[in-house]
Each structure stands twice: as C-alpha cells, then as structure tokens.
Amino acid sequence: MACTCEKCGAVFIGDETCDDRFNMLQAKELEVPEYFVVHHLSVPCFMLQHNRYSRTGWIDAYHLLAQFIQDGLKLEAARQMLQNSFNSKRDSSITKGEKLLGVEDVKWRVTIADVKHNTAQEYCDSITTWAKAIIEDAAALEGTGYFSEAELRETRRAILSLQSKSEKASSKLNADTWQYRMMTDNVKACGIALALIDGTSAVAIEHTTLNEAFAVLSDALRRAEAVIGKFAEGTSQHTLQRNRIAALKVALTLIKKEMAGL
C-alpha cells in the first residue's frame, strides 16, 4: 500500500513517511562523513518542502539554498551570514510563527523519496538534484503574497535611504575612482528596485539592466552582512544595517522575479 505525503507529494511503499526517511538519512550523514558533505543542502531541502520554517525563516533558507547552488557559496561564508542574520533578528524565530502561504500548493518535481543513498556519491548527487529542483519549483512563490504591504513599505524606505546616501557620497568623490563608480552603480540599482516595488516602470526593464542591478545589490547585501556584527544591538548603526539587509533581500527577490518573467 502506497503512502503519499500531504505536504510534498512524496510517495512511499508501505507506511514509511517523509520524516522517517529524513531521520534515516540524517543518521547516515552523522555516521559517514562522505554523506555529511551535503548536510547544508539536505536539511533546508526537507524543511522548505514541508514548510517547517517560519515565514521569514523560509525566505532566508530559500535564498541561502539558492546561493549554495547557483553562486557556489562556501560554507564558512554561509556560517558568517547565518550568524549575522541571527544577530539582526533576535526577536524572530527560524521555525516558530507565521508560515509562508502557498508552499503547500507548489508541485514539487523531486522529493525526499527520490533521493538515492546506496553510495556517498549517489547520495550527494541526489541531494544536489533535489536542491536545484526546489529552487526552480519554488520560484513561482516569489511575488505572489511573498511580501506584505508593510514589508514593501519598509523596503522602499531603506532602499531610498541607501540611494540617497550613495548619491551624497558620489558627489564628494573623484569620478575616476572605483568608489565613485560603486556609488553611482548603487544609485542606478536602487532606482531599478524602487521601480519594481512601486510598479512604475512603463516598459519592461531589459534583462541586462536587471542583471547588473542584481549584481550591485548582491554586493551591497554582502557588505551589510559582513559589518552588522561589528555594531552593538540597539545602536543606530546596527538598526540601519538590519533594515538594509532585509530590504536588499526583498529587492533581490523582486529583481529575480522580474528576470524570470522576461
């Protein structure tokens, strides 16, 4: 008799569940170092598909998974990002609280039932395939109730602040310097983000322009995540970076959605 998971659609023969399979695979990872190599992928894959994270936790985990797969993010850098994210969100939980709407409606092409685990190489390849499929399948969630009106308002405020600070900084720099170019790139990228937030672009923004804006704001996000830990919680500097990090993540998501629609 087949057992189908109501959350992800995985089908098992007998009474095995997704949790049973996940626990078995996690035990295997702890026992065999060669299996543990993809631990940073297997856990978020399972948690994302079964909507075990809080709403903000889901969004952060999804973005992190995409960075692992698409950008080749290294584990050490990811650990620092997670620590900085934790420091900036002490009042929120990665698992408890409001859930992201729409996850149960996603048609997952690959589930934990499809993960092969006879050898370490087979397991690592399977987990990577699972992660890639999740990134693609869940992309449809972005922009469909993904962000609340309040989040978009806060995002707009923080992006405007970054744009204004960049404009002021550029006016004091020599046009031949890399710092000037970085500031002017920030201004342009923020303008793209604001157009997407406000829906004010009369025509479709070219893919090249979106790609450039994505790269610029990704760099801005990395810089903000790198420095937030240097500021004491509750200080104006910490609050500025915390708000900027949240806003940049929203802006990057909106740009990705726009690029996917072209």
Same domain for 210 and 112?
A: no
State the residue range of the domain holding 228: 149-260
What mean pLDDT comes out for the span 28-39? Answer: 96
**Residue environment code for 44-71, b if the CB has 16+ CB neighbours within 10 A, otherwise e:** bbbbbbbbbbbbbbbbbbbbbbbbbbee
Same domain for 129 and 170?
A: no
Same domain for 129 and 7?
A: yes
Same domain for 109 and 235?
A: no
Greater model confidence, 190 or 91: 190
Q: Is the pLDDT of residue 144 over 50?
A: no
Same domain for 207 and 98?
A: no
Same domain for 137 and 198?
A: no
Nearest to 162 by CA among 143, 188, 181, 180: 188
Same domain for 177 and 72?
A: no
Greater model confidence, 181 or 97: 181
Of 108, 141, 174, the residue that ends a domain is 141
Three-state secondary structure readout of 213-257: HHHHHHHHHHHHHHHHHHCCCCCHHHHHHHHHHHHHHHHHHHHHH
Average pLDDT of the chain, as a whole number: 88
- Rounded Cα distance between 125 and 200, Å, is 43
pTM > 0.75: yes or no:
no
Of 114, 141, 168, the residue that ends a domain is 141
Contact 99, 47 (CB under 8 A): no
* pLDDT tens, residue by residue, 150-172: 778 899 999 999 999 999 999 99
CATH number at residue 190: 1.20.1440
- Rounded Cα distance between 91 and 114, Å, is 37
Of 118, 141, 164, the residue that ends a domain is 141
